[in-house]
Structure 1
């Protein structure tokens, strides 16, 4: 009997993953925005940037910073697609993964346009539970946290390390109403804040938990594009996105180079 090219258990075709595009030379470090549209913005930050390809929500590009190869791949929204990215990147030999995304602030000292470097995430995601060790927190790689915060300081960007929470949905799961005249469930945010969460988003806990389980050095830097206490929303997000990618790329390059 001829051997099947794929299996349902591990549906790769040789060394080609079922979901992610794959460059000929795989960078050791990847930035992970959620939105495929943000991948192209890496051309403003990385040298020799090119798009590798896109499959579904997974758009990938590669470039260099200070001579170090850096990849960027969108995760799409939420835990399920983020798990796919983490597992397939790990199997392709990636060693460093840094989420570069947005969040809604839950802390009064954080302002729109600030950057929270996720040193940890409170346990909240169903997908992350398959990878996280027992406990109330999922920790980022401390070396990546330090590199991110150092880069933030060098770039003169406002923010600090802190704690995030990852929600498995955008509306009810984050206390929002599900119709224009609804009230939402703000108690959800109060409960997360009481557990130490200073921001809420949809992917970081999975990046941290899966990264640790799969042997990657994982971290996340989150830009405040919404403020859940003041109900503020950052309309002009372009510069913040560019700063987010630059900050993440600096940390990723230094992690690979051992600086």
Structure 2
């Protein structure tokens, strides 16, 4: 354990002692955290709470903590992309595992349970819109985790198979694969969920194979991703946060799982006729599972 004081330049705090980006103090959060991308979705989750304890917002990071059926829950918006996830995960961990007054790592580690409720597009024809995907693995094409000493948590055999299958360009960041929480997967899985690899891109257009005016480095990459399989598991969906959540959670000693509302199917070109209804169903499904744990 690091016994050195963490400098002000590395752990930045606001004048009131809250962590810099999230604007939170340790007493503001629960041990169970729900992450959503859209700040407007925070209120949609919190509308299910029986009572509200605390709320705040700074930039795209909106937080509401409340009680549902006797269980304390916190919902936080992350914004879009793995770079924002890097901020959120590190600051959440700092709230529970660093003494913000002394700037020292606490001697006893505290574990958070972190569940992402997000929207995503399916890559497989047999996973239709308006259904849920539980991400068994996060497949990162974003490179975020390579900034950390992370080799011990990676699924290198699957990575090597994916790199070979896609003929991955060595000019891009090496894909990384991290398994999600088996504890949360057991809690949140059911006959209503599909499972597989969730691929995380570092952009919405080119990195996800969309073409407007710019040519792609590999125009066939999406079809290669669609066809990848390892021990019967396929890449179910493509989004922009899961792999970074999984990697940082595992490195920091937390449980994390991603739940995805499928609002588009890239394989057959369909889109949900009522995205709000689908997202609301996933919110209620996830909350019901969490409070009955």
TM-score interval w.r.t. the shorter chain? 0.7 to 0.9
What is the RMSD of the two structures over their aligned residues, measured on CA atoms?
A: 2.4
- The corresponding residue for 1:86 is 89
* Alignment pair present for 1:125 and 2:160: no
Indicate conservation of the 8 Å contact 1:30/1:71, yes or no. yes
What is the deviation of 1:119?
A: 0.8
Structure with max Cα Rg: 2
The answer to which of 163-172 and 190-199 deviates more is 190-199
Given that 2:246 and 2:257 are in contact with CA atoms closer than 8 Å, whether structure 1 keeps it comes out as: yes
* Greater displacement, 188-197 / 165-174: 188-197
TM-score when normalising by structure 2: 0.76
Distance (whole Å) between structure 1 residues aligned to residue 289 and residue 212 of structure 2: 38
Runs of 4+ more than 4 Å apart: 181-186
- TM-score (norm: length of structure 1): 0.85
Q: How many residues align?
A: 244
Change (3 A) 1:21 1:251: farther
CA offsets 1:38-92 (integer angstroms, 9 cap, x no match): 0010133222136611111101111222211000001100000111111111121
1:56 to 32, 54, 59: 59
- The corresponding residue for 1:190 is 223
SS in 1 for 2:264: strand
Query: Is the deviation greater in 128-137 or in 87-96?
Result: 128-137
| 1:22–1:52 contact (8 Å) kept in structure 2 | no
**Structure 2 unpaired stretches of 5+:** 1-5, 97-110, 160-176, 229-233
With over 3 angstroms needed to count, the CA separation of the structure-2 counterparts of 1:74 and 1:25, relative to structure 1, is closer
**Counterpart Cα distance in 1 of 2:129 and 2:54:** 30
Question: Which residue does 1:110 correspond to in 2?
Answer: 127
How far, CA to CA, are the matches of 1:172 and 1:114 in structure 2?
26
Unpaired runs of 5+ in structure 1? none
